[in-house]
Amino acid sequence: MKQTELRGPAPAAAVRPVTPQQREAKAARTGGEPTLEFAGQVPYDVYTHASTLHRLQQPLSDDPGEMSFLMVSQIMELYFGLTRYELLQAQQLIRADQVWDALAPLRRATLHLEALNAAWRGLRWMSPADFNKFRNLLGEASGFQSAMYRQLEFLLGLRDPALIRPFRRHTEVYAELRDSLAAPSLWDDVVALLARRGFDLPAEVLDRDVSVEHETHPRIEAAWVAIYAEDGPGNHLRQLGEALTEVAEQFGEWRWQHVKAVQRTMGAKVGSGGSAGLAWLQRSMARVVFPELWSARTSM
C-alpha cells in the first residue's frame, strides 16, 4: 500500500508553509505576540478541521450524559484508525526487512492504544440507570458494527469472515473489509520475516489461507524461544517481539475494559446489536493476538 493511500484525501484548503527564518522575522516584528489576523481561514482549523469535528456530535436524546457516550465512541473510532495506520507502517517495513525501523511505528501504536484505553475512563460514571436514559433510542446501533475496529482486528490477525456481513450494503466499506481479509495480517508478515531470517517454518504455515484465523504452531514458538535466548543489543528480532507484545497487551486491555464497561452499564442484558452482549464479549477474549509470542514464554 502506498504512503498516500494511508493518509487519506488532502485537505480542501492547504496550509501555507512557513520557514524558520520567516517565523523568526515575524516574531521580531510583533514583539513575540501571537498572530491575530489572517487573510483567510484560521490555519489551525484548515489543518485539523476542528470546526467540522465539533459539528459531528448529534445526540438522539436530551440527556446530557449521552454526549459523553457519543463523543468517547467517536474518539475511539479515531484511535482505531490511527492505530491501524501505525501498524500498516510497521507491516510495510517488516515486509522490506527493515526490522529496526518498524519498531518506531509499533511503539507509537502502543502509545495510541494506551490513550484509547484511557478513553474508557470517560464512561466510568455510567450506571445502568444512566445508560437506560437513552439506550433505546440507539436502536440496533452497536460498537459491534464498527468497520474500523474490524479493520484493526483483521490486521492483528483476528479473522472471522462472517463479521463483515453487516456491511454488505455499504459497498465501499464492504470491499475494503473483504480486501483486508484476503491480505496477510501483521502477524503473517512477521512469520514470513522469521522464515527469511533462516528459521525452519513449514509450508503449511507460510502458504496457508490468510483469510482464516492463524492457529498456534510449535515451529513458530520454537523460533521465538531461540530469538529470546539471545539478549544482545543487536538482536532486533527480540526487540520486535517485545514491541509486538506491547501492542497485543494494550489491545487486550482495551478488550477487557470493554467487557468491564458492559458489565457496569448493562450487566448480562442482550446487546444492542443482537448478540448475547457480555457473554459474547467474554468468549471473544479467548482469541489471542500474536499467539506464539505468548505460548513460547512457557519454554523460555
For the annotated binding site for heme, the residues are: 258
Cα angle 145, 150, 152; round to 5: 140
**123, 65 Cβ separation under 8 angstroms:** no
CA distance 250 to 117: 8
Instruction: Identify the CA nearest to 106 among candidates 93, 96, 116, 125.
Output: 93
Binding residues for substrate: 135
What are the φ/ψ torsions at residue 27 (nearest 5 degrees)?
A: -60, -35
Burial label for 214, CB within 10 Å (0-12, 13-18, 19+), is: buried
Binding residues: 135, 258
Angle between helices 147-156 and 186-196 (to 10 degrees): 20
Write down the residue that cell numbers 500498516 correspond to: 88
Amino acid present at 196: R
Amino acid present at 34: P
Cα angle 175, 176, 181; round to 5: 95
